[in-house]
Amino acid sequence: MKSYTLRPGTHLTQIYVYRDPVDFRKGHRGLSTLIEHELGHNPFSGTLYVFGNRQRSRIKCLFWEDNGFVLYYKALAEEKFHWPHADDELITLTGEQLNWLLDGYNVGLMTPHRPLQYESVG
């Protein structure tokens, strides 16, 4: 597996994927409020929470690290994240599975997105 500079650790054991789409205008305050009030969890526990937008082209991960929130954001240039399907409001993943999801893998089928290379932004 390729080494990345900023990624949630593969050693993480408590990761929750919020199944429903989230308004991505929400920052760490809005997402932590959702965790506390809608899910009934403690956002300061160090547990990592994963949220997706309606189009499944963006992911935000939020967790508390010692003295502040860390907000990880990834926006795909093309394609969509393979969002887990379940009847439960929350789905649990391991750190390794989360990194597979970020790599574009369908965690259930283990099939990745195709790699993209660009020469220019515009």
- When pLDDT is averaged across residues 81-102 and rounded to a whole number, the result is 81
Residue 79's contacts (CB-CB under 8 Å, 6 or more residues apart) are: 57, 104, 113, 114
- When pLDDT is averaged across residues 3-28 and rounded to a whole number, the result is 85
pTM summary value: 0.81
For residue 114, CA distances in Å to 47, 55, 86 come to 30, 18, 25
Residue 106's contacts (CB-CB under 8 Å, 6 or more residues apart) are: 82
What is the model's pLDDT at position 68? Answer: 94
Q: For residue 37, report the phi and psi dihedrals to the nearest 5 degrees.
A: -90, -40
| Predicted confidence (pLDDT) per residue in 24-55, tens digit | 999 999 999 999 999 999 999 999 999 999 99
**Beta partners for residue 38, in sequence order:** none
Which tokens is 83 given?
């969002």
What is the model's pLDDT at position 118? Answer: 79
pLDDT above 80 for 4: no
| Predicted confidence (pLDDT) per residue in 93-120, tens digit | 888 888 888 888 776 665 566 677 777 7
Q: How confident is the model at residue 90 (pLDDT cuts 50, 70, 90)?
A: confident
